[in-house]
């Protein structure tokens, strides 16, 4: 290969890689802008009246989390979210939205919704996450195992079984699904800090982004 060809080859390679990164930058800038517009114009997409929340309404920061009780990453992120909520009890309001990806997701969401009627939502969520490796193994899901442990949450199991049949729960899941599409949620957990998506999938970045808003 002569020098002229080498120049053609490497300048082409460099320009194409450059185009890739310029396009990436351009796309991300535009995406952030449109998310900011959405956060201002359509705040109801982030928080619906039916959504479970933790923390005061007057909180400066609203942290929206789209989660799936059967998702391992949601489980892994949960302790960090809890730590953040303990650190900023008056400044952060956590809003839980559902995104059902797995086989038993909707079933467990129904249990969570039923738990809200006994004000045991967070306790049941904690139990579900803690024992998730047992009941939510994707190769061998055994949802019955979860029932064994649910008593640990302090919830009334018989009442849970009745309340989880409420047809209104399907509407909640449906609305959350629609909003997740509007918000471009393509995985769980997905966080929005005052409407702005989490910059990087990292618990430290989550904490930093919350602090920036305080």
Count of residues in contact with another protein, rule CB under 8 A: 16
Task: Report residue 60 as tokens.
Answer: 């400066």
Q: At its nearest, how many Å lie between another protein and the CB of residue 180? A: 13
Show the site string, 23-42: x = touches another protein by CB under 8 A, - = not. xx--xx--------------
* Cis previous bond, 189, omega within 30: yes
Q: At its nearest, how many Å lie between another protein and the CB of residue 66? A: 14
Residue with smaller CB distance to another protein, 21 or 44: 21
Residue with smaller CB distance to another protein, 83 or 186: 186
The answer to whether the CB of 198 falls within 8 A of the CB of 191 is yes
Strand partners, 196: 193
- Residue 147 and residue 114: Cα distance in Å, rounded? 13
Question: Residue 51, Cα to own-chain centre: how many angstroms?
Answer: 13
Show the site string, 168-187: x = touches another protein by CB under 8 A, - = not. ----------------x-xx
Residue with smaller CB distance to another protein, 29 or 142: 29
- Residue 159 and residue 59: Cα distance in Å, rounded? 33
User: What's the order of all strands across the beta sheet hosting 92-98?
Assistant: 53-54, 92-98, 61-67, 190-193, 196-197
Does residue 200 interact with another protein by CB under 8 A?
A: no
Strand partners, 96: 65
Q: At its nearest, how many Å lie between another protein and the CB of residue 207? A: 23
Stretch 7-26 residues interacting with another protein (CB under 8 A): 8-9, 12-13, 16-17, 20, 23-24
Q: At its nearest, how many Å lie between another protein and the CB of residue 74? A: 17
Residue with smaller CB distance to another protein, 85 or 205: 205
DSSP secondary structure code for residue 194 in this structure: T
- Residue 124 and residue 115: Cα distance in Å, rounded? 7
Give residues in contact with another protein (CB under 8 A). 1, 5, 8-9, 12-13, 16-17, 20, 23-24, 27-28, 184, 186-187
């Amino acid at each position: 290969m002569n020098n002229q060809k080498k120049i053609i080859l490497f300048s082409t390679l460099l320009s194409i890689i450059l185009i890739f990164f310029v396009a990436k930058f351009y796309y991300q800038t535009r995406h952030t802008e449109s998310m900011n517009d959405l956060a201002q114009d359509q705040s109801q997409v982030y928080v619906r009246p039916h959504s479970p929340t933790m923390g005061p309404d007057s909180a400066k920061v609203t942290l929206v989390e789209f989660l799936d009780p059967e998702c391992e990453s949601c489980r892994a992120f949960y302790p960090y979210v809890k730590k953040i909520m303990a650190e900023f009890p008056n400044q952060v309001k956590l809003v839980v939205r559902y995104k059902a990806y797995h086989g038993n997701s909707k079933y467990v969401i129904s249990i969570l919704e039923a738990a809200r009627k006994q004000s045991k939502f967070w306790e049941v969520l904690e139990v579900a996450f803690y024992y998730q490796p047992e009941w939510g193994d994707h190769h061998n899901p055994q949802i019955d195992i979860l029932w064994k442990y649910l008593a640990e949450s302090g919830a009334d199991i018989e009442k849970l079984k009745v309340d989880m049949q409420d047809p209104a729960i399907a509407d909640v899941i449906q609305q959350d699904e629609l909003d997740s599409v509007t918000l471009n949620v393509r995985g769980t957990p997905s966080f929005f800090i005052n409407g702005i998506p989490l910059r990087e999938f990292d618990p430290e970045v989550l904490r930093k982004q919350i602090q920036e808003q305080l």
